[in-house]
């Protein structure tokens, strides 16, 4: 009865994380496991119960979001009673290593089908002029699409205004940051697109001439929201293309109507987003994550992120990545493996 009690706990209390994203279908799925007449819960052995628990964890993984601390405690309790080794752990951000079992979390790359779905959605949004991309004039949009068609593919797309405003002082300092980012990728012989706004051209012609020699440049009107442009350029350019911006892109992810598409977009963002920071030691360019910070099962071991109930945001940078310090590692003991 352990699993049935646990699933009822989740369904009744609505504590499963995917409900934050209005994924009511996920809740209905869990209820269907409990309510199914085909399941005689009293006579299920451990392996069968674990199979159903794994299905719950798989749906948590599909939601691509951390669960609450209450939920993770129940999951830990359930697997522990089934003689699994379940321990709270930390994931090293630099390489995705679990500090408990020392496995490396996988980088769950988008399949060709998933990326094509994302690409198709972007094209459709552009064509029909939906809310996500209705931030421009038709002429500007047409000019931009022709430019991308002519100059793509790129290796990396730079959100110029976002990078420049890491510097909070003079235009000269802002252009220095942008030039630093361009030089970083140019030295690696990568094909670069710098996407900014027209008013940035007034900051310094000499610097822009230097930048233009090392990259392609496109400037939107000053009133145009440029986020959709660099997102579009990066996605239409191809599955290999990265982008540089500190923007969390939450608004753009939110307006995507399908949960599956939102998750694909989030995984694409984690795999391709570079960020530039100004620290006491100087400028730092942070590469994309080497692992996907979603619940995942590798070599029979589950790793699930959760949100600590009383977590403090003090001293932490909100970069859109789940906290690497709050994870659960669960692995079957040697008796279950044999």
Last residue of a domain, one of 250, 269, 286: 286
- Same-domain status, 332 and 224: no
Residue 325's pLDDT band (cuts 50, 70, 90) = very high
The whole-model pTM stands at 0.83
Overall average pLDDT of the 167-185 stretch: 95
- How many residues would you count in the chain? 338
Quote the domain boundaries for residue 164.
112-286
Q: Taking CA 88 as the corner, what is the angle to CA 267 and CA 84, rounded to the nearest 5 degrees?
A: 100
CB 298 within 8 A of CB 96: no
Give the model confidence (pLDDT) of 122-145 as tens digits: 877 655 554 445 566 778 888 998
Report which secondary-structure segment, H or E, holds 53. helix 46-63
Overall average pLDDT of the 38-45 stretch: 52
Look at residue 43 in the predicted model and tell me its pLDDT. Answer: 45
CATH number for position 120: 3.40.50.11980
Give the model confidence (pLDDT) of 3-27 as tens digits: 555 555 555 544 444 444 434 454 5
Last residue of a domain, one of 243, 264, 286: 286
Look at residue 249 in the predicted model and tell me its pLDDT. Answer: 87
- Same-domain status, 195 and 151: yes
Give the residue from 21, 141, 140, 7 showing the smallest Cα distance to 75: 7
CB 69 within 8 A of CB 16: no
- Same-domain status, 132 and 99: no
Q: How far apart are CA 27 and CA 19, in angstroms?
A: 7
Query: Of the segments 48-62, 126-140, 181-195, which one has the largest average pLDDT value?
Result: 181-195
Look at residue 312 in the predicted model and tell me its pLDDT. Answer: 60
Residue 31's alpha-carbon distances to 6, 43, 65, 200, 293, in angstroms, are: 11, 19, 20, 55, 27
Residue 313 has pLDDT above 80, yes or no: no
How many separate domains does the chain show?
A: 2
- Same-domain status, 137 and 281: yes
Q: How far apart are CA 265 and CA 115, in angstroms?
A: 9
Q: How far apart are CA 193 and CA 215, in angstroms?
A: 6
Give the model confidence (pLDDT) of 252-281 as tens digits: 766 677 888 889 999 999 999 999 999 888
- Same-domain status, 89 and 127: no
- What the block records as the tokens of 102 is 């020392």
Q: How far apart are CA 222 and CA 147, in angstroms?
A: 18
Query: Could you give the 3-state DSSP secondary structure of residue 300?
Result: coil
Give the model confidence (pLDDT) of 213-253 as tens digits: 999 999 999 877 778 889 999 999 999 999 999 998 877 76
């Amino acid at each position: 009865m352990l699993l049935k009690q646990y699933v009822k706990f989740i369904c009744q209390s609505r504590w499963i994380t995917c409900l934050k994203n209005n994924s009511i279908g996920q809740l209905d799925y869990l209820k269907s496991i409990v309510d199914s007449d085909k399941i005689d819960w009293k006579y299920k052995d451990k392996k069968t119960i674990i199979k159903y628990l794994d299905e719950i964890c798989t749906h948590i993984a599909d939601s691509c979001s951390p669960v609450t601390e209450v939920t993770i405690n129940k999951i830990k309790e359930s697997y522990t009673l089934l003689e699994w080794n379940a321990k709270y752990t930390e994931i090293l951000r630099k390489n995705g290593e679990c500090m408990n079992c020392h496995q490396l979390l996988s980088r769950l790359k988008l399949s060709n089908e998933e990326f094509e779905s994302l690409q198709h959605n972007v094209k459709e949004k552009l064509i029909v002029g939906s809310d996500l991309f209705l931030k421009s004039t038709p002429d500007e949009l047409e000019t931009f699409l022709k430019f991308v068609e002519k100059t793509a593919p790129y290796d990396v797309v730079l959100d110029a205004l976002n990078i420049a405003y890491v510097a909070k002082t003079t235009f000269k300092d802002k252009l220095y940051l942008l030039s630093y980012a361009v030089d970083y990728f140019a030295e690696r012989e990568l094909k670069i697109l710098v996407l900014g706004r027209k008013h940035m051209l007034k900051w310094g012609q000499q610097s822009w001439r230097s930048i233009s020699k090392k990259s392609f440049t496109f400037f939107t009107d000053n009133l145009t929201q440029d986020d959709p442009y660099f997102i579009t350029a990066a996605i239409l350019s191809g599955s290999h293309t990265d982008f540089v911006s500190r923007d969390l892109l939450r608004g753009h992810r939110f307006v995507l109507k399908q949960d599956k598409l939102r998750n694909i977009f989030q995984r694409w963002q984690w795999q391709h987003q570079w960020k530039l920071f100004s620290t006491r030691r100087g400028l730092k360019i942070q590469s994309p994550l080497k692992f996907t910070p979603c619940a995942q099962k590798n070599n029979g071991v589950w790793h699930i992120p959760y949100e600590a109930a009383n977590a403090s945001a003090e001293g932490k940078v909100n970069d859109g990545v789940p906290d690497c310090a709050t994870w659960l590692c669960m692995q079957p003991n040697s008796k279950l493996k044999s």
